[in-house]
Amino acid sequence: MKLNPIRTATAAVVASMIVAAAPAWAAGAKIGALMPLTGDLQAYGVASVTGSELAMEEINAQGGVLGGKLALEVADTQTNAQAGVDAAQRLVSVAGVNAMVGALSSGVTIPVATTVSAARMVPQISPASTSPVITSLDDKDFLFRSVPSDALQGTVMGQLAANEGYKTVSVMYINNDYGQGLAEEFAKTFEKGGGKVAASLAFEPGSASYRGELTNAAKDGAEALVLIAYPENGSTVVRQALEEGLFTKFVFSDGLKAPEMSQAIGEEYLKDTVGIAPEAVADSPAAAKFRTAYEAKFKQLPPKPYIDTTYDAVYVLALAMEKAGSTDGTKIRDALRDVANAPGEKILPGEWEKAVKLIKEGKDIDYVGASGSLDFDAAGDVSGTFAIYEFKNGTVETREIVEPKL
């Protein structure tokens, strides 16, 4: 089997970050990266690490943070809540990180925020956790995210299913905070527009068979299956749906935007599949600068979602440290909106030296991220645009970029 280049590259990435976290780098600042290097979200975690590495290298090449180098310490959440909390505790207590990026799964991010970040006053930005629960979470304003909530994604997903001409669908969702929240938001929008959700069924990851759930989902005239999952379990659901002749048409969530899906299923079986995922407008100046820099370093364009949002999370945390003039967690938290929100002079990806100069001159800055605007609201949430994606030409292609119509 041919190795996935992004996985091979990332072994070196993680090794380089461990070196970067050595005591010789202690003069600057340290950010912890809570990433699923194993478990259901492994493919996304491994890819997202590359975004954090690119941000770190750009910042250090242009002078570093607070007069020293920025270091990154990567910890594996295993896509598991308890393992994620344990990893976060180690990052804070042993590695001494000043802030954290992660986790990817809402089911990991939420307990980390409530038991570690808020309690230890360490700012945390998730680049992928989309559960609506996060908006009202009692996190003492220490949890932010660089990706839109499923309150927005569910709206766009419901509109997409309706625009595809579906009148009746069934939903299967992974039984965690991410799956539950997105399934609820999808149903609200789809039914508000006159559609019918014939069945909404949770499933457990790691099962050998989902045929029982699929049989129930196929009842009552469902024309398509809306699937909210990750590649490791989503591919099994789709394969069994096709084998049993229960569904041939699918609407995928952001968690399934991965070439591994077509590799596991066969692209010809996904010709009637569409999906939705957060994505910046590709030709925006900020996104273009990021993509150019990423391709120069990794010899390919970002292959998965959340690489750009991870890059942005590292970048804006480092900017907040520079603005605060400190690595104190509360001061970093309080500076995040100062560097990410308008008004201020626009700072694009890679413009670290320019940003530091403006900060030292006492001028306001407004970081415009690789993934889009990072204007944090009172809950630490951001808005954003979404890609409608399809599986074509051996990869995942964007059909169009859309904005939520609330």
Supply the DSSP symbol for 105.
S
Instruction: State pLDDT tens for residues 116-130.
Output: 999 999 999 999 999
**Mean pLDDT for the stretch of residues 262-278:** 95
Instruction: State pLDDT tens for residues 174-183.
Output: 999 999 999 9
Instruction: State pLDDT tens for residues 232-247.
Output: 999 999 999 999 999 9
**Closest to 75 in 3D by CA, of 26, 20, 17:** 17
Residue 388 three-state SS:
strand
Assess whether 35 and 141 both reside in one domain: yes
Question: What local confidence, expressed as pLDDT, does residue 394 receive?
Answer: 83
What rounded mean pLDDT belongs to the chain?
92
Angle at 63 between CA 333 and CA 94, to 5 degrees: 50
Distance CA 72, CA 299 (A): 22
pLDDT at residue 33 above 90?
yes
Assess whether 107 and 157 both reside in one domain: no
Distance CA 374, CA 104 (A): 17
Assess whether 160 and 264 both reside in one domain: yes
CA dihedral 18, 22, 25, 30 (to 10 degrees): 60
Assess whether 27 and 129 both reside in one domain: yes
- Cβ neighbours, 10 Å, residue 383: 14
Supply the DSSP symbol for 38.
S
Instruction: State pLDDT tens for residues 92-104.
Output: 999 999 999 999 9
pLDDT at residue 4 above 50?
no
Instruction: State pLDDT tens for residues 332-370.
Output: 999 999 999 999 999 999 999 999 999 999 999 999 999
Identify the CATH number of the domain in which residue 295 sits.
3.40.50.2300
Instruction: State pLDDT tens for residues 195-227.
Output: 999 999 999 998 999 999 999 999 999 999 999
Assess whether 10 and 94 both reside in one domain: yes
Assess whether 393 and 244 both reside in one domain: yes
Identify any residues that bridge with 252 across adjacent strands, giving them in sequence order.
227, 275
> 227 near 233, Cβ under 8 Å?
no
99-101/124-126 β-pairing = parallel
- Residues, the chain: 406
Assess whether 18 and 141 both reside in one domain: yes
Domain that includes residue 204, residue range: 151-280+386-402
- Does residue 379 lie in a domain region? no
Instruction: State pLDDT tens for residues 281-313.
Output: 878 999 999 999 999 999 999 988 999 999 999
Q: Is the pTM of this model over 0.85?
A: yes
Question: What local confidence, expressed as pLDDT, does residue 7 receive?
Answer: 34
pLDDT at residue 262 above 80?
yes
Supply the DSSP symbol for 68.
B
Identify any residues that bridge with 346 across adjacent strands, giving them in sequence order.
366
Give the type of residue at 103: A
Q: How many CA atoms lie within 13 A of 257 on its CB side?
A: 24
Q: Which residues, at least 6 apart from 341, have a Cβ–Cβ distance to it below 8 Å?
A: 366, 374, 375, 376
Assess whether 310 and 266 both reside in one domain: no
Assess whether 109 and 172 both reside in one domain: no
**Mean pLDDT for the stretch of residues 135-146:** 98
Q: Sign of the CA dihedral 195, 201, 204, 209?
A: negative
